[in-house]
Every structure is written in C-alpha cells, then in structure tokens.
Amino acid sequence: MKLDHIAIVVRDLEQAASVYSKKLGVPLKSRHRIDAEGVEVAVMELDNAHIELVKPLDKASGVASFLEKRGEGLHHICLEVDNIEALIRYLGASGIKLIDDKPRTGYKGNKAVFVHPSSTNGVLIEFYEKDM
Amino acid sequence: MKLDHIAIVVRDLEQAASVYSKKLGVPLKSRHRIDAEGVEVAVMELDNAHIELVKPLDKASGVASFLEKRGEGLHHICLEVDNIEALIRYLGASGIKLIDDKPRTGYKGNKAVFVHPSSTNGVLIEFYEKDM
C-alpha cells in the first residue's frame, strides 16, 4: 500500500503555498478548485508523495469546521489502493467504520472513501483507487 | 525532497499496531523503545514511506503532552534531506523557526531537527538527514 498524499488545512492558500515552496523547498505542482468538496487545493510535490494544502471555500465544508475547531494543521492522510470495492469489503469485515456509504469521486475521477478517525486512532484516512 | 514517515500518537501501541496491520493491511516492520525521547514506536511499512505509531513512556515527553491535550492522532511528518547543516542554514535564512538549536540524533544515529508549527501552518515537521 502506497501513500498518495498528506492533507494540511490552511487559512490562506497563497501564503501557505509560498511557505512550503519558497521557505521549505517543496515545489508547487498544481492548483485546483473542487466545488463539490467546497475547497481549493495546492498540490506540493515531494519525490515520493504529495502534500495537499487545503483551504475551505465556504463555512459549510468539513474542512471549514476543522479549521474553526482545531486551527491550521494536519488533516488527513491518503493511501492508494488497487480496488476500492474490494477494500470496502475488507474494511467492513475488519469492523472499520467508513464515513462514506459508497465511494465518492475525486477531482481526477478516481473513487475514494474516508475512514472514520474513531476506528483508526484519531486519524482521518482516505483510501483512493489508483489510476487504471 | 522525500517523505520519510508520518507519526501518529497513540495510547496503546499493541492495539494501534494491530489496527494498522490487521484491519488496514499496513504491515508492522519493527518496534523500538527510544528512551532519550521517552517513547516507544511501532514502524508500519507502506511501499513508499513509513507510518510511525508513537506511544509516550512517561508523562514528561512532548508526545505525552500532545496526547493529553489533543488525544490520539496525527502528530508530525518527517522529510528526508541530504545535509542537515545546509538545511538549517537555508531555513534560518528563510525565517523558519526551529525547535532545536542544534540537530538531535535519532535512534538510528541520523541527525534531525524539528521545525516549529507556528512557521509551517500548524504542522510539526521533522527534517532528517538520510543515511550516508
């Protein structure tokens, strides 16, 4: 199993992307607005994974609520799997609680599910079906 | 720049290592007790990085204080660099605040420094000098 990305919630995407690229040396790869999730994302490129800086677009998203309660910081990790339906069956049999009843579709068209942090020691984990 | 690991603070190392290995399918690679840091660690192996499950051994460590304040969850990320002294000069020139005045030595003998989350949008980042 492979790590796809680490997501960090931020208040100001310009400022955060500038810190990570110019001050830490992690290059900016791309930027996306994902209206379905109510977020804007800056993808920062590490050699073996990505850091996604995520800014809420409104107050309705889960990310906005996280930002209000906990402030900026680490939000979730995303692991890549071959087959999301097989994974959902495996997690169900393991007694792992999912946030999603069925896979959601990411901005690149890939299927993804989120695991509830209560099942995984306080960590929000996204599983993401890799490109075919 | 490469991600080395993601650290997750947990209360019970046996329980957490069992969740990540048996229920999520991320194999346990090794376990270490690091007395200098006051922690016990289970290293879980992803294809391209590690997850470190970290349990405080006493109430004095930073990890114990994190656990008390915020509960279990994502604690820090660790990025691998070629030369820690060059990195410290680069971060200093960038105005990034370090927690450590000088590099600490990890359990494998590698040098590491931690960046203060106030400089990096609430994220505790460890920089780790890779094996020679």
Residues of A in contact with B9 (CB under 8 A): 122
Residue of chain B nearest A10, judged by CA positions:
B121
| Among B8, B122, B125, beta carbon nearest to A72 | B122
**Distance, CA of B42 to CA of B88 (rounded, Å):** 28
Buried b (16+ CB within 10 A) or exposed e, A92-126: eeeebebeeeebeebeeebbbbbbebebbbbbbbb
Q: Tell me the CA distances in angstroms from A54 to A25, A41, A128, B74, one per residue in order.
A: 18, 5, 17, 16
Query: From 3.30.70.560, 3.10.180.10, 3.40.190.80, 3.40.50.720, which CATH number describes the A2-129 domain?
Result: 3.10.180.10
How does strand A73-81 pair with strand A2-9? antiparallel
Contact yes or no for A94 and B47 at CB 8 A: no
**Contact assessment for residue A75 and residue A68, using Cβ atoms and an 8 Å cutoff:** no
Instruction: List CB contacts of B101: < 8 A, sequence separation 6 or more.
Output: none
**Contact assessment for residue B50 and residue B30, using Cβ atoms and an 8 Å cutoff:** no
Q: How many helices (H) and strands (E) does chain B have?
A: 3, 8
In this prediction, what percent of chain B has a pLDDT beyond 90?
Answer: 86
Q: Is B117 on the interface with A (CB under 8 A)?
A: yes
- Per-residue pLDDT, A131: 78
CB pairs under 8 A between A and B: 110
**Distance, CA of A112 to CA of A1 (rounded, Å):** 15
With vertex at residue B35, the alpha carbon angle to CA B10 and CA B68, rounded to the nearest 5 degrees, is 35
What are the boundaries of each domain within chain A? 2-129
Question: Which site among A44, A81, A123 would you substitute to test the B interface, given the most B Cβ atoms closer than 10 Å to its Cβ?
Answer: A123
Residue of chain B nearest A12, judged by CA positions:
B121
Q: Is A10 on the interface with B (CB under 8 A)?
A: yes
Residues of B in contact with A9 (CB under 8 A): 122
Contact yes or no for A73 and B22 at CB 8 A: no
| Among A19, A120, A121, beta carbon nearest to B121 | A19
pLDDT tens digit at each of 132 positions of chain A: 999 999 999 999 999 999 999 999 999 999 999 998 899 999 999 999 999 999 999 999 899 999 999 999 999 999 999 999 999 999 999 999 999 889 998 777 889 999 999 999 999 999 999 976
Q: What is the pLDDT of residues B38-62, one digit of tens each?
A: 999 999 999 999 999 999 999 998 9
A2 burial type by CB count under 10 A (0-12 exposed, 13-18 middle, 19+ buried): middle
Reply yes or no on whether the pLDDT at B132 is more than 80. no
Handedness of CA B90, B94, B95, B98 (dihedral sign): negative
